[in-house]
Amino acid sequence: MKWRGASLCVAAAAVLPASLMLYGVCVPGGYYDFVVGALWCWTIVGVAWAVIGVRWWRRDPPDSRWRLWPLAVFPFVLVVSWWTASGDLVGKATFAHYRADLEQLADRASTNDDTRVGPYRFRSRFYMDGCTLYSVREPAMAVGSGLAWCPGVSPTDHIWDEGEIFEKIEGDWYTFVMPFGDTPVDPWGLQVTRIDSVGHV
């Protein structure tokens, strides 16, 4: 019974890193604290899952091993959340939901103060070359990243001073990233090999 309760706890605990990971990739470039926190939580819960699974497998007779079913929840949640976080689904769905709020914010005076819109935490918001740029606070996979609203202009038509790379979302909206070094980075989704602690420690 003790091991059964522990396996249920591990299954429930998988929700935490999954939530952190999905929240962490809801913005271009991701949130460093949430993405790294999710990876650490996955590691801790994964170790607990392996220890409980091995000990329970050794203790219980073969005809009662069906009770291991709660342990199947962890790999299922891991695979589904990792697959979802690796694409652009979360980021684009978040943007679509908050697009009107972002456009209203762009109409206000520019500011370098922290700004929040739903799950978005912007370090600064400024106007440059016909675009309003929303710079994400502490991105995980780029030196800088964010959103750009460029009504009537295309930011991809010229080279930017800070090396920003723009990608169209829809309409007048774009993402931008400033990658670490010369290695390209996708603005959306989890890219573990692109995570860098520069500026976060």
Of 81, 72, 74, the C-alpha closest to 20 is 81
CA distance 185 to 98: 24
Phi then psi for residue 126, to 5 deg, are: -145, 160
Q: What is the pLDDT of residue 97?
A: 95
Q: What is the per-residue burial (b if ≥16 Cβ within 10 Å, else e) of 97-112?
A: ebbeebeebbeeeeee
pLDDT of residue 1: 46
pLDDT score of 145 = 92
Check residue 109 and give its pLDDT.
56
- What's the Cα-to-Cα distance from 86 to each of 3, 20, 191, rounded to whole Å? 33, 13, 7
Extents of the domains making up the chain: 2-86, 89-194
DSSP element (H, E) containing 42: helix 32-59
Q: Which residues of the chain have pLDDT under 50?
A: 1, 201
Confidence at residue 80, expressed as pLDDT on a 0 to 100 scale: 96
pTM: 0.86
